[in-house]
Every structure is written in structure tokens, then in C-alpha cells.
Structure 1
Amino acid sequence: MKAPETIASMAELRTEIDALDARLVALLATRARLIERAAQIKQGVGLPARIDARVEEVVAHVRAVAQREGLDPAQAEVLWRQIIEWAIVREEQVLGKGEEA
């Protein structure tokens, strides 16, 4: 990955963004596999897909990391809440919808 300040052309910049997007998608695919495993484990121990305290814990962690990395924490939170909702829907496919634990 090139440092942004070393990129001189839009073509080069787009190549870097495309490569980064591919890495992000690969990471999201790994996260999705972890979510599938979480659903299996939750099913075995009787936990629901949505556990509000855990959602807030994840959001707080993401906000802190975003702050440390120089990314707007509020924007990171919006994005992560969408990712979390996507994960909950995936878990509910396995667990069904239930009450929070």
C-alpha cells in the first residue's frame, strides 16, 4: 500500500483504492464467517442474535479505534451499526428472532 501523499495521478489513486476495497471485502467475508460461528455457539447456549450490551460494547470499541486512527468516530459508528445490523440478520437466520439475553 502506497502512502497517499506519494500518489501522483488519479489512475494510480484508483488502483490503490481498488486494492484496498478488495482487502476490505475479504475482511468482511472473514467477519461474516465469524458471525456464522457466533450464531452456532449462541444456538448451543441459548443466546439471542441481538444482545444490546454487546452492540454498544462493539460500537464503543470502534469509536475508540476510529479516534486513534484519525477517522471521525461518529462516521465510524454509523458504518459499524450497519455492519452490526447485517450481522444480526445473519444470526437470526440461524437462531430466529428472540428476546435479548
Structure 2
Amino acid sequence: MIRNAKDIAETLAAIRRAFGDGPDMTRAKWAARHSFNYTQYANWETGARRIPIEAADVLCDRYGLTLDFVYRDRRDGLSAAAMKALAEHLDR
């Protein structure tokens, strides 16, 4: 089952923290790095809106993630490198 926008937002925040090159990676910098509009990205990461598949796919391709991870929190398809990077940032 696809999770709600708030749960997906937590995953997006964990992805940014895990792959964002340190604590100075703001939402604005992260959005710019991936050619996302800042306001749209902020809405996704706060859970105001659900990230569209096309945007989630950008993150998946770049960081070895899967859409099942982003939308369903299924971790079995993640690369070992992605799981290692995310390990300390996932609260669940």
C-alpha cells in the first residue's frame, strides 16, 4: 500500500540528510541540485503534497533507491551503498 504524503515526506528528509553532503544541505540547495522548484520540493518534504513519480525517479536513479522505498518503505530492493548511507537517518 502506498503511504500517505506525511510518511513519504519523512523518507524524503532522510534521503536529503543521507546524501546531502553534510548538515548544511538545506532544502533549497537540495532542490537546486536536482533541478526541482524549491517551493514544490518543500511541499513534498513537509508532506503538504506527495512527490510525483517523475521527481522521485530522479532521486532513485541518482542514489540507488527504488520507488518502492520512497512510496512504500520497502527496503529489500535498495543497493547496499544506499542502505548504508540511509541507516542512521531512518527512524523507522
Higher helix share: 1
TM-score class, shorter: under 0.3
Instruction: Give the TM-score normalised by structure 1.
Output: 0.25
Structure 1 or 2, whichever has the larger Rg, is 1
Instruction: Give the TM-score normalised by structure 2.
Output: 0.27
